[in-house]
Amino acid sequence: MAVIKIDKLTKYYGASRGVEDLSLEVKQGEIFGYLGPNGAGKTTTIRCLLGLIFPTGGKATVMGHDIVHESFKVRQNIGYIPGDLNLYPKMTGEELLEYFSRFRPDKPAVLKDDLVTRFDLDLTRKTKELSRGNKQKLIIILALMHDPDLLILDEPTLGLDPLMQKEFYKVLREFQARGKTVFLSSHILPDVEKTCERVGIVKEGKLVAIEDVKAVETKKIRHIEVTFLDTVKKEEFDIDGVSVIQANDHEFKLKVKGKIDPVIKVMAKHQVADTIIEHASLEEIFLEFYGEVTR
């Protein structure tokens, strides 16, 4: 059963494009990644699903309810983490959670205490006094505490430290294990890889592909800078998917598409003085693999 069904969704802000003819389905119990560079239309899609903005064309249903005409029913069973983090500054964390829980009298905040413990958050402080990371924890608890059937998450790990990110992904997998569905929007590929099975890739307002996350893995690009103590021949890096950007006898700059293992094996044959390995930006990956979107 499709929990989210989007059919040719189009949203224009005046003359500027939000999303165009976007169609996709998210199945019950899956963690679906929604990946795209900044400005691609991810947030526009999410805001349409939540009834915060209204589509210019097309239609969509969430849990069988039309997003425009039955928006109230849609929101009854959703947990939402917005990309822009704005909270009521004068409320304490406890007051904020209490305030919002009263909008769902039939859905008690059954997970609140557990989540507060796991994310180690002090609820007695006013939200204006919280750091970016702690605000993010608060909004995560707010979205998840009533154990919704669908989570719609827009860049949910922004500001979280690696330990908390790990805990967050663990919580998501627990949700999935209970049959819940997660729609996770991000512009960070590794974030999506950690949790999702399928990934919708959106660029310039259009869905360019829906891929298995393993397929996305093969499209990973890494930049490697390596300094050797001994002399290394350029030809040693004649490996499929590897381009030598810059080279001398000791220093190499490489661009690696797909698996990194063959490069590591070559490097391991020599004495390595230093190395830096960086993931390419999503924009670069998109340019490499998905090219320009034809209009």
Is the CB of 9 or the CB of 267 nearer to another protein?
9
Select 88 or 234, whichever has its Cβ closest to another protein: 88
* Stretch of 26-34, 59-67, 81-89, 250-258 contacting another protein, by CB under 8 A: 81-89
Q: How far is the CB of 264 from another protein (least distance, A)?
A: 42
Output b/e per residue, 36-48; b: 16+ Cβ within 10 A: bbeebbbbbbbbb
Interface region with another protein, contact rule CB under 8 A, candidates 102-110, 182-190, 229-237, 244-252: 102-110
Minimal distance in Å, beta carbon 164 to another protein? 20
Q: Please identify, using beta-carbon distances, which residue of 13 and 278 lies nearer to another protein.
A: 13
**C-alpha to C-alpha distance for 280 and 274, rounded to whole angstroms:** 19
> How far apart are CB 220 and another protein at their closest, in Å?
30
Task: By CB under 8 A, name the one of 29, 39, 51, 159 that touches another protein.
Answer: 51
Among 76, 165, 176, 281, binds another protein (CB under 8 A): 76
Q: Count Cβ atoms below 10 Å from residue 188 Cβ, excluding itself.
A: 15
Nearest in space to 248 (alpha carbons), one of 231, 262, 265? 231
| Six token digits for residue 155 | 């860049």
Contact (CB, 8 A) for 88 and 135:
no
Q: Out of 65, 104, 253, 270, which residue is the one contacting another protein (CB under 8 A)?
A: 104
> Beta-carbon neighbour count of residue 295 at 10 Å?
8
222 is written with which tokens?
């890494």
C-beta closer to another protein: residue 22 or 256? 22
Contact at 8 Å (CB) between 180 and 29?
yes
Should residue 83 be labelled a site residue for another protein when binding is judged by CB under 8 A? yes
Are the beta carbons of 280 and 190 closer than 8 angstroms? no
Given 8, 88, 174, 269, the residue binding another protein (CB under 8 A): 88
Among the listed ranges 2-10, 24-32, 45-53, 228-236, the one in contact with another protein (CB under 8 A) is: 45-53
Any alpha helices (H) in the chain, and if so which ranges? 42-49, 71-76, 93-101, 112-119, 132-144, 162-177, 189-195, 213-218, 261-268, 282-289
Binding mask of the shown chain, residues 8 to 27, with x at each position contacting another protein by CB under 8 A: -----x--------------
Residues 118-157 that bind another protein (CB under 8 A): 139, 142
Residue 191: burial class (beta carbons within 10 Å; 0-12, 13-18, 19+): buried
**Min CB(71)–another protein separation in Å:** 8
Size of interface with another protein, in residues (CB under 8 A): 27
Judged by DSSP in three states, 27 sits in strand
Residue 54 interacts with another protein (CB under 8 A): yes or no: yes
Where on the chain is the footprint of another protein (CB under 8 A)?
13, 43, 47, 50-54, 72, 75-76, 78, 80, 82-84, 86-88, 90, 99-100, 102-104, 139, 142
